[in-house]
Amino acid sequence: MRDLCVLIVGGGSGLGALLARMAVEDGASKLAIIDLDGAAAETALSPARTKDVPTVSARCDIQSGSQCHAAFDAVVSKLGRVDTLINCAAIYPRRPILEITDAEWDASNGVNIKGTYHMMVAGVRHMQRQEPRGKIRGRIVNLTSVDAFKAHPQNAHYAATKAAVVSLTRSFAHHVAMDGILVNSVAPAGMATERARSLGFLEELAKASPLGRGAEPMEIAQWVLMAGGPKNTYMTGENIIVSGGYIYA
């Protein structure tokens, strides 16, 4: 990420906060976080600030297109440009397939699909106007999931939204290819996070993996940073599956 301005949506906690720290360690010159929890975003920026990296946070409900564009504009106003946009804001509801309510469908679609779409539109509109660095004007990386490709009746609504994000990634990649904007996604399997442990399904996922464990978050984050980093100058429209053999593509 050397010398790039990185914006992480959903960077206030979890994988997003780890990505923020790792991006700075990898040489990002500027860092921004957009999150529904403004206080968490500020906390996640602390490691960057200790290294005197210019930062900005913005509170945003990504289900609102106007809020997404306002938050993105606020980032650009302070930092000047966004080279890499990482979309990792999502909700992960679990409900048996025959019991999903309208409210749960609406929440999943609103955050996971519509929110990702709005942030991609905001990112593309900005990147189309900025000067390229070499052949590349910008990079967008979306977090998807192996659930997009695997039958999962305990969270079918989540799986459906992540399949939609894979499709959005491909459509955007095709649309902006000639603008020098690369759009890709990364699909992890279960990660060994505190949240996964608290929800009680990490052991189940570990048993399903040929490696016998869930991924450490850093093992997923490094692929996200690769897709969004300066070494990626040609890959676009791809979905990188990082599942420890949970599924084979």
Residues forming the active site: 158
Rounded to whole angstroms, the Cα distance separating 194 from 127 reads 35
Tokens matching residue 55: 């930062």
For 58, phi and psi rounded to 5 degrees?
A: -145, 130
3-state secondary structure of 166: helix
Rounded to whole angstroms, the Cα distance separating 136 from 87 reads 19
- Return left, alpha or beta for 133; rule: phi > 0 is left, psi -120 to 50 is alpha, else beta: beta
For the chain, give the number of residues: 249
Rounded to whole angstroms, the Cα distance separating 26 from 1 reads 5
State the distance between the two ends of the chain, measured CA to CA, in whole angstroms: 27
Give the ranges where the chain is alpha helix by DSSP (H): 14-25, 38-44, 46-50, 65-79, 102-108, 116-129, 156-176, 194-199, 202-208, 217-228
Residue indicated by tokens 């968490």 = 40
